[in-house]
Structure 1
Amino acid sequence: MKRPIRTQPSLLALLLLSLPGLAAASACLYKGADASARVINRSGEITTPFPEPLSAPDCRRLRVATGEVAVYAVAASHASTQAAPEMRRVNSGALIVGAGNAPADAGGMTQLMQQIKSVLDGGQRLRSGSSRGANEDYILTAIPSGRLAEPQADLVVPLGQTADADLASFELSLKGKLVHRQPGPAQELRLPAAHLQRGNMLQWTLNYAGQRHQGQIVVEDPALLTQRKQELLQLSQLEPDPLLRQLRLAAALVDEGQVWAAREIIRISLAP
């Protein structure tokens, strides 16, 4: 009996259905102003969001214990299809108060926070050298889907410092023909630039931990992305916080389907 094919959108839909409180939650990214910053959750666990920022699915459960913390989230007042992140500095009390930020389906915020979490998780995995599987949700978030500017080099999705035994295979198809197959286990997924040429529409298939997932990539002229990034940066050039400028750029690109480009902006922006 064949296993059902799971696509990336259906995975997110299942996640939302399985977590009915997610739409009311208040996901955020938070970063300490210096090494004195400490954040504590309701169970008493203390974290240090410096020099690397941290993220959480509901920041109403977190409060500043010491120091100053910059909190990046989407305000509840934003109801447009392009809800942009905002920043507030907190010296004491909850990171987010009241009803919290915008619903999870507002604009690109859901995917933006997923990408932020995925980038942070991926970096932590590589640094810690975890021998566990990379995690299905992390991989599905990290694999390019939607619109993609033609790259100059292979695209790489790191899985860990050791070969991930849960990876059975990763495949790329063009016009129904298999053009690339990577067997597992492996430490990374690699998408060859030779197949990621402008005008190509590719389908990818991931066989991981006994499940099959599929997605699609539409490769575009990279000049289009460059021009769009310049236009978006012009709109936020007066914003003094450099991280907030980049997160707003990433949020807009996510909303327009350029998720891989948004991920790269997030990755560079969150590097300590």
Structure 2
Amino acid sequence: MQLIDIGVNLTHPSLATQCEAVLQRAYAAGVCQLVLTGTSVTESEQALALCRQLDDTGQRLFSTAGVHPHDASSWSADSARQLKALLGEAQVRAVGECGLDFNRDFSPRPQQEKVLEEHLALAVELQLPVFLHERDADQRLVEILRDYRDRLPAAVVHCFTGEKRALFNYLDLDLHIGITGWICDERRGTHLHPLVREIPVGRLMLESDAPFLLPRSLRPKPKSGRNEPAFLGEVLREVALHRGETQAALASHTTECARRFFNLPAVAPHAEA
């Protein structure tokens, strides 16, 4: 059984000091490929560097390149130029993390919207999929995406935590949905239990968002309290439970979906750690 983690923050300081051990534990747990999230120009560069340093096969580690909406205020003409160069590299497979965050508003909303449109224009120009972030901004995100969707190859709303309205609007736009350990949180994630049944096969992918969002249902819990890609199986278990699928079936179609979305190579079973 193979899994693909479509969103891991391997450049985060809590993981970056022990990348090799984190990856070995992931491979041992059946997570055969990982997409490292770029959240700024610098971290996008670092994510690509980690792919090159830690994957001599060119088949296991890939990355995204983008500027998170929290950092939209830092955007400049140089940002677009630097991202475009990064997005031309073979291991960089998607534009993002980009989007809208009206929950924390760390950057002014008009600037977030401008920077999102810059990302979408790059994705259209380069014909790359988009890795989207959204908190408390689903209606505005849909409005902006409508103007670009027909020209975009694909887009995923990563770490989906929204309500039914948001999910159906995203599905109506033919977007993909990423589910994390949020669904394992009995305090704030139970509304996702019936919603994951509504995501069609071929539009659903799994992600750890490590080191964040440690699945609260995980037993035993790591002493560090930090999430890792190796724990993606717990997200698989919870999603399979609420979709009424076997874990093997869910792993099969979400892995196939991720490979297609990010244009990843197949990894032979004997090549896994």
TM over 0.5: no
Identify, as 1 or 2, the structure richer in strand: 1
User: TM-score normalized by structure 1?
Assistant: 0.30
The TM-score, its normalising length taken from structure 2, stands at: 0.30
Rg: which structure is higher? 1
Higher helix share: 2
